[in-house]
Amino acid sequence: MKYVDEFRDGEKARRIAALIEQEVEADRDYRLMEFCGGHTHAIFRFGLHALMPSNLKYVHGPGCPVCVLPAGRIEAAIQLVEAEKLILCTYADLMRVPAGKRDSLHRAKARGADIRMVYSVNDALAIARNNPEQQVVFFAIGFETTTPPTAVAIQIAQAEGLKNFLVYCNHVQTPPAMSHLLASGEVSINGILGPSHVSTIIGSDAYADCCNNHHIPIVIAGFEPLDVMQSTLLLVRQINAGRCEVENQYSRAVTPDGNRKAQALMANVFEQRPLFEWRGLGALPDSAIQIRSEYADFDAEKRFAITDIATADIKGCICPAVLRGLNDPDECKLFATACTPEEPKGACMVSSEGACAAHYSYGRFKSETGA
Amino acid sequence: MSRLDIQHGVVEMAHGSGGRVSATLIDELFIRHFDNALLKQGNDSAQFEAPAGRMVMSTDAHVVSPLFFPGGDIGSLSVHGTINDVAMSGAKPLYLSASFILEEGFALAELESIVISMAAASREAGVPVITGDTKVVERGKGDGVFISTTGIGVVPDNVQISGDRAEAGDLILISGYIGDHGTAILSSREGLEFATTIVSDSAALHGLVAAMVEAAPEIHCLRDPTRGGLATTLNELSRQSAVGMQIREADIPVRAEVRGACELLGLDPLYIANEGKLVCICPAQSAEALLNVMQNYPLGSDAAIIGEVVSDNAHLVTMKTRFGGQRVVDWLAGEQLPRIC
Amino acid sequence: MCLAVPARVESLDAAASSAIVNLDGIRKAISTQLLDEVAIGDYVLVHVGYALERIDPDEAEKTLLLFDELKAIEP
């Protein structure tokens, strides 16, 4: 697989590992936040922990769209599909995420709600075209990577006059979440592996403020294991030299400006949302987007007057702290006992790139075999 | 008796009523295509001489969407699936039964092509369908057609194959490329459509098994990695035998296209279903000879030794990755769904 | 987050802003609506049925060369 296999070469990985080992300073701790679930997944799937020196630690970040979506938004979607008897289309990732009261989209579907898993928002458009007598709501989630396709779909629906297609917008933005985490001062890190696919859209310059305001080195890092390792080396070098800048390791897909066309599409359809609740991070100002009034006909929140539902935290679950990089999953007393991939209590156990699921699936080797 | 209008007709409630219409369906569709003396006895049960030795029996319900997929359909699948379950004890499969649950409104032409495909699979395997049943459910209460098949077979005297017999030091073999069936099904599933030359590996494995047990009757375990894929089968066997397993990613045969489909949809080939593959666990000294036998057989030509059984109180399956790392290969949690993140 | 895979553009339908991409023999129709320019033979990053960005072959080569150069500085 071109542009994949070359970046999964184990022998080259050991060379980079040797170099990292050589360059880390013994009296320093390197705590690097891997911002994205994609990085978390790569670190575990390829066993990168084992290749790192003992004073270099990866700290999980909040970059998993499924994990940061608050339970109340899922509960609202379930109420909507059950009360209005409409068709709810969702990416499959969301199906098993716990909503309140031990509910989930999966369980609502089993009760009879018409919930359909789609691979692309375009499939939701097709469902709307094929079911003109029914309302079709697309449950839009994700960061800037997943937002432009939603924007395109709304424009297509408008151009076609597809009145039964609606979007429940839950798109969130990466730089505000990063700034918030750093401003809170809770988490002690000295470098960030920055988002890769988000950055193809927003560009590496989007992190300049974050880097300057919080004096933290950021390296935009691809999701393949060699990308993560090379970015780690670049961060080690910045930290050693006392430098603090945004570097772009993923230059094969990310430019300083990003994808201008996609940005224009997003700006045309969406506007800043004043406040949005994140699971784990709380309500953050200017951290999410909503559908502009010009496209109000396609806004499910407006059409059905959806209001936020407050949901109680799950007792004992430390997902909020895990998402902020404060705790490791195995420090949670529910981890691998009450909370497993089969019966997830917290969101981080659901998505395969959630920190808890990654620890559970791949990480137990270390603890259970003593290797 | 009225003729069945196969070209234009659909399944009606009367086809399951037990009356004349039912009889027409059975005669013109099932008996006509399955065509064998035991079925033609026409009784509620089929009578046959019991062979000497230990017998095995297995049953499998088949539901698949779509009903027709590249490389097969629910008919051939329902024959192969049960023959394989019987064969995984080392047995020679003898007879099958089949029960059909049909949905009112289902096109008779489609039903006929499913029955033809089923009859062809059974004839090719030399395992006849000797008894059966048909019921019809109201429209909306079924998914076209569900087929349950049961198989019986007889095990050679010197063979003791069971999922609890894996021992530390045994080697693990797979009979060929993994993930073909699941990938073929995904490629034709609504909303996911992608074009590929991958077809389902659905096949009856009893011939391969017969050759294997003849060459190495000391085989410890055989299992077909169907739902949940190779990963789930290895975890089942680890738990049943109270051992651990260590496999090597680089030695597991996976077609480039299956890898491609998995990367695209965020899936893992280790968890993708197979319908014509088997996992074999045998004493280390038998492995090379067994591998030769498998590779000389068409359905085992891409067989490989993929790892070994180890002692491990946690019964973990671990994998040495191509990249050089080590990871746990866990049970499948829930169903494997395409993901965007 | 954000699963995206590089696939080669095999054919283009400019009017529909769509393309057929090939990923190791898997062919899939995707939207090219997010791209200004795209040509047959380009590799694009595919996410939820959309091409997010083209892969720059020169930059990819540079990154790979960096990995190779690491050998030279190994002790």
Nearest to B327 among A47, A64, A225 (CB): A47
For residues A180-208, average pLDDT: 94
Q: How far apart are CA C48 and CA A197, in angstroms?
A: 12
**A268-308 tens-digit pLDDT:** 999 999 999 998 888 999 999 999 999 999 999 999 999 88
Q: What is the pLDDT of residue B293?
A: 98
Please state the rounded mean pLDDT for residues B240-265.
96
Dihedral sign of CA atoms C24, C28, C32, C37 in order = positive
Block residue for tokens 């003898």: B94
pLDDT tens sequence across B51-79: 988 999 999 999 999 999 999 999 999 99
Identify the band that residue B150 occupies on the pLDDT scale cut at 50, 70 and 90.
very high
Q: Same domain for A88 and A129?
A: yes
Mean pLDDT value of segment A34-53: 89
From B319's Cα to the closest Cα of chain A, the distance in A is 10
Among B91, B90, B336, which Cα is nearest to B220's?
Answer: B90
- On whether both A229 and A280 belong to a single domain, the answer is no
Share of chain B above pLDDT 90, in %: 84
Q: Tell me: do A262 and A150 sit in the same domain.
A: yes
**Which chain B residues are Cβ-neighbours of C48 within 8 angstroms?**
340
| Residue A142 pLDDT level (bands cut at 50, 70, 90) | very high
Residues of B within 8 A of A11 (CB-CB) are 324
A148 CB within 8 Å of a chain C CB: yes
B7 at C interface, C-beta within 8 A: no
Whether the pLDDT of residue C1 is over 80: the answer is no
Contact partners of A by the rule of 3+ C-beta pairs under 8 A? B, C
CB pairs under 8 A between A and C: 128
Tell me: do A118 and A262 sit in the same domain: yes
Query: Comparing C-alpha atoms, which of A140, A107, A141 is closest to residue A124?
Result: A140
CB contact under 8 A, A47 and B340: no
> Is residue A147 one of the residues assigned to a domain?
yes
Topology of the domain comprising C5-73: SH3 type barrels. (2.30.30)
Considering the domain architecture, whether residues A73 and A210 belong to the same structural domain is answered as no
Residue A64 has pLDDT above 70, yes or no: yes
Contact C25 B197 (CB under 8 A): yes
B257 touches chain C (CB under 8 A): yes
**Shortest CB distance from A46 goes to which of B316, B325, B333?**
B325
Residues A82 and A151 in one domain: yes
Condensed to tens digits (0 to 9), the pLDDT of residues B307-339 reads 999 999 999 999 998 888 888 898 887 778 888
Instruction: Write down the mean pLDDT value for chain A.
Output: 92
Q: What is the pLDDT of residue A342?
A: 83
Whether the per-residue pLDDT at A6 is higher than 80: the answer is yes
Instruction: Kindly state whether A280 is in contact with chain C, defined as any CB-CB distance less than 8 angstroms.
Output: no
Q: For A94-103, A294-303, B164-173, B313-322, which range has the lowest pLDDT when averaged over its residues?
A: A94-103
Residue A345 above 90 pLDDT? no
- In this predicted structure, the answer to whether residue C71 has a pLDDT above a threshold of 80 is no
Q: Which residues of C touch A12 (CB under 8 A)?
A: 67-68, 70
Q: Say whether residue B5 is in contact with chain C using an 8 A CB cutoff.
A: no
Contact: C24, B259; criterion CB under 8 Å: yes
**Minimal Cα distance from B255: which residue of C?**
C24
Instruction: Measure A91 CA to nearest chain B CA, in Å.
Output: 7
Q: Do B334 and A96 touch (CB under 8 A)?
A: yes
Q: Do B341 and A365 touch (CB under 8 A)?
A: no
Contacts of B260 in chain A (CB under 8 A): 1
Which residue in B197, B263, B339 is closest to C23 by CB distance? Answer: B263
Subunit contact A3:C59, Cβ cutoff 8 A? no
Same domain, A159 and A280: yes
Given a cut of 70, is residue C75 above it in pLDDT?
A: no
Task: Identify which of C47, C64, C73 has the shortest CB distance to residue A197.
Answer: C47
pLDDT at A370: 37
Structural domain boundaries enclosing A335: 319-365
pLDDT reading at A369 higher than 70: no
Using a CB-CB cut-off of 8 Å, the residues of chain C touching B197 are 25
Q: Please give, rounded to a whole number of angstroms, the shortest distance from the CA of A205 to a CA of chain B.
A: 24
Report H helices in B266-298: 284-295
Give the total number of structural domains in chain A. Answer: 3
Tally Cβ neighbours within 10 Å of residue B19: 10
pLDDT for the residue numbered B40: 92
Residues A162 and A180 in one domain: no
**What mean pLDDT do residues A315-323 have?**
87
Q: Is residue A55 part of a domain?
A: no
Q: Please check whether residue C5 touches B, CB under 8 A.
A: yes
Q: Which residues contact A317 (CB under 8 A, 6 or more apart)?
A: A332, A334, A339, A345, A346
Q: Does B302 touch chain C (CB under 8 A)?
A: no
Per the CB < 8 Å rule, is A38 touching C43? no
Q: Is the pLDDT of residue A126 over 80?
A: yes
Same domain, A152 and A107: yes
- Asked if residue A333 is part of any domain, the answer here is yes
Counting residues of chain B whose pLDDT is more than 70, the rounded percentage is: 99
Nearest to A120 among C2, C49, C57 (CB): C49
Query: What CATH code is carried by the domain that includes residue A107?
Result: 3.40.50.11740
Interchain CB distance below 8 Å, C52 and A123: no
Q: Per-residue pLDDT for A364 more than 70?
A: no
Is the domain of A158 the same as that of A11? Answer: no
Interface contact C24-B260, CB threshold 8 A: yes
CA distance B198 to chain C (A): 9
Q: Are B161 and B90 in contact (CB under 8 A)?
A: yes
Task: Output the domain CATH number for residue A20.
Answer: 3.40.50.11750
Question: What percentage of chain C exceeds 90 in pLDDT?
Answer: 84
Which chain B residues touch C28 with a CB distance below 8 Å? Answer: 193-195, 264
Mutation for testing the B interface, residue in C26, C50, C52 having most B CBs under 10 Å: C26
Whether ipTM exceeds 0.90: yes
Residue among A249, A138, B341, A97 at smallest CA distance from C47: B341
* CB-based contact, B195 to chain C, within 8 Å: yes
Q: Give the mean pLDDT of B211-233.
A: 97
Asked if residue A219 and residue A276 are part of one domain, the reply reads no
Instruction: Report the gap between the CA of A41 and the closest CA in chain B (Å).
Output: 10
**C48 touching B, CB under 8 A?**
yes
Over residues B31-41, the pLDDT tens digits come to 999 999 999 99
Q: Is A54 within the bounds of a domain? A: no
Domains of chain B: residue spans and CATH:
13-155 (3.30.1330.10), 171-328 (3.90.650.10)
8 Å CB contact of A117 and B338:
yes
Q: What is the pLDDT of residue B54?
A: 95
Please judge whether A352 and B338 are an interchain contact, meaning their C-beta atoms are less than 8 angstroms apart: no
Query: Chain C contact for A253, CB < 8 A?
Result: yes
pLDDT digits (tens, 9 = 90+) for B281-315: 999 999 999 999 999 999 999 999 999 999 999 99
Q: Are residues A128 and A267 in the same domain?
A: yes
Query: What string of H, E and C letters represents the secondary structure of chain A?
Result: CCCCHHHHCHHHHHHHHHHHHHHCCCCCCEEEEEEEHHHHHHHHHCCHHHHCCCCEEEEEEEECHHHHCCHHHHHHHHHHHHHHCCEEEEEHHHCCCCCCCCCCHHHHHHHCCCEEEECCHHHHHHHHHHCCCCCEEEEEEECCCCHHHHHHHHHHHHHHCCCCEEEEEEEECHHHHHHHHHHHCCCCCCEEEECCHHHHHHCHHHHHHHHHHHCCCEEECCCCHHHHHHHHHHHHHHHHHCCCCEEECCCCCCCCCCCHHHHHHHHHHEEEEEEEEECCCEEEEEEEEEECHHHHHHEHHHHCCCCCCCCCCCCCCCHHHHHCCCCCHHHCCCECCCECCCCCCCHHHCCCCCHHHHHHHHHHHHHHHCC
How many inter-chain contacts (A to B, CB under 8 Å) are there?
Answer: 103
CA distances from B135 to A144, A189, B146 (A): 52, 65, 10
In which band, very low, low, confident or very high, does the pLDDT at B2 lie, cut at 50, 70 and 90?
low
What average pLDDT score do residues A146-173 get?
A: 98
